[in-house]
């Protein structure tokens, strides 16, 4: 309630990107408080998940986009996230698109983001990841294409070569709508080429791809087939959407928000559809990470029942506040109690076989 009041009375009056930068100050402090993670982190051993050879203390992770430059990893882990995915990081630093480029739509509990992969580049992220204290927590790195790069594959490879040794897993982000031509890399031929080029520099680390909710069902099926053929470790579904259907915000508010990727509650239904479609086609061979409109423990529970091994959030955390991960863990534990289940892994078993 305190966070909701602060958000409604103060933060909504501040530009969203400025509010984010102000929030980094307490997060840096949180990373220096060794007891905070024990206080807020997942305590229920039933929440522990094994995925692509890694142990996650909880299935609830922070999606890429919040910590683009690996500045806040320890602070975010201290809040209790089961994993943190930094980035999107590009090979070369770039300023991104002009401000304003991050806009709230509170009536929809959504954000419009046209940041344009603003970050300081792979070398800076490498230095920060190398300097942070290693705690055994799971930290992934999300890679994107430098806007001015003429050879996308070489650009991704350069980032992966720098950052893979410091990552627990690597994600190829080919689904942001804010870098011209990036989504073309979701086409199976191009995505296959990219996967085959990046994998040799990962030294065996898990490789995932992140796809858009705006793919047609046929294209989702093609990505699933590619994941099986190329033995991808995982798929993250989904990124933001360019659609604006069914919003509660007024037409004037939506127009004022402008172009960019829409995240939050409006993406939930399509993200769940894509998750179910992927799971029906890849079976248990590929780890699926569900993201898009996850706000409540019930949202996470529904994704786990639909076949997700892990879930991630960004917008839900922005609207939910610093105690959001802790609330998610408590809610999942209560649902395990009610269902009489001994672990998160049993959720999908109880849900039964996945239907197309």
What does the alpha-carbon distance between residue 251 and residue 37 come to, in Å, rounded to a whole number?
42
| Residue 309 annotated as lining a ligand binding site | no
Instruction: Flag whether 296 is marked binding.
Output: no
End-to-end CA distance of the chain: 40
Task: Find out whether 142 is annotated in a ligand binding site.
Answer: yes
Q: Which of 199, 210, 192, 203 is nearest to 144 (CA)?
A: 210
Q: Is 293 annotated as a binding residue?
A: yes
On whether 314 is known to bind a ligand per the annotation, the reply is: yes
Query: 328 among the known binding-site residues?
Result: no
Let me know if 290 is a catalytic residue. Answer: no
Main-chain dihedrals φ then ψ at residue 175, nearest 5 degrees = -135, 5
Consult the annotation and say whether 315 binds a ligand: yes
Residue 75 in tokens? 């602070």
7 in a known ligand binding site: no
- Annotated binding residue 173: yes
Q: Would you say 136 and 200 are in contact if contact means Cβ atoms under 8 Å apart? A: no
222: tokens are: 């093609």
- Known binding residue 115? Answer is yes
337 is in an annotated binding site: no
Q: Tell me the C-alpha to C-alpha distance, in Å, between residue 90 and each of 49, 87, 312, 350, 351.
A: 29, 8, 21, 41, 39
Placement of tokens 């806007």 in the chain: 147
Has 66 been labeled as part of a binding site? yes
210 is in an annotated binding site: yes
Tell me whether residue 119 is annotated as binding: no
Catalytic residue, candidates 159, 176, 249, 271: 176
- Flag whether 64 is marked binding: yes
Question: Which amino acids are annotated as binding site, given as ranges?
Answer: 64-68, 88, 113-117, 142, 173, 178, 210, 238-240, 264, 293, 314-315
Question: Which amino acids are annotated as binding site for FMN, given as ranges?
Answer: 64-68, 88, 142, 173, 210, 238, 264, 293, 314-315
Question: Which amino acids are annotated as binding site for substrate, given as ranges?
Answer: 68, 113-117, 173, 178, 239-240
Residues with a known catalytic role: 176
């Amino acid at each position: 309630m305190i966070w909701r009041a602060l958000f409604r009375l103060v933060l909504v009056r501040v530009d969203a990107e400025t509010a984010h930068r102000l929030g980094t100050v307490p997060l840096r402090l949180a990373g220096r408080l060794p007891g905070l993670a024990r206080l807020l982190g997942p305590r229920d051993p039933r929440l522990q998940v094994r995925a692509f050879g890694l142990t996650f203390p909880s299935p609830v992770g922070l999606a890429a986009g919040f910590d683009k430059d690996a500045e806040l990893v320890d602070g975010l882990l201290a809040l209790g996230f089961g994993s943190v995915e930094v980035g999107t990081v590009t090979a070369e630093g770039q300023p991104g698109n002009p401000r304003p480029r991050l806009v709230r739509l509170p009536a929809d509990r959504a954000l419009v983001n046209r940041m344009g992969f603003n970050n300081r580049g792979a070398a800076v992220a490498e230095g920060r990841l190398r300097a942070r204290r290693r705690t055994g927590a799971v930290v992934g790195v999300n890679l994107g294409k430098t806007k001015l790069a003429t050879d996308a594959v070489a650009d991704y490879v350069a980032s992966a070569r720098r950052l893979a040794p410091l990552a627990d897993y690597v994600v190829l982000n080919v689904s942001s709508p804010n870098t011209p031509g990036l989504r073309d890399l979701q086409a199976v031929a191009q995505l296959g080429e990219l996967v085959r080029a990046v994998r040799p520099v990962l030294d065996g680390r898990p490789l995932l791809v992140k796809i858009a909710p705006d793919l047609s069902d046929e294209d989702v099926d093609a990505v699933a087939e590619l994941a099986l053929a190329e033995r991808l470790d995982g798929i993250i579904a989904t990124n933001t959407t360019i659609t604006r259907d069914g919003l509660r915000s007024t037409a004037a508010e939506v127009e004022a928000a402008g172009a960019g990727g829409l995240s939050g509650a409006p993406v939930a239904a399509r993200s769940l559809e894509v998750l179910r479609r992927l799971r029906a086609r890849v079976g248990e061979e590929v780890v699926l990470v569900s993201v898009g409109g996850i706000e409540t423990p019930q949202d996470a529970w529904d994704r786990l029942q639909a076949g997700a091994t892990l879930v991630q959030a960004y917008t839900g955390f922005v609207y939910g506040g610093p105690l959001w991960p802790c609330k998610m863990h408590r809610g999942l534990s209560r649902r395990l109690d009610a269902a009489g289940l001994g672990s998160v892994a049993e959720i999908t078993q109880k849900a039964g076989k996945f239907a197309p």
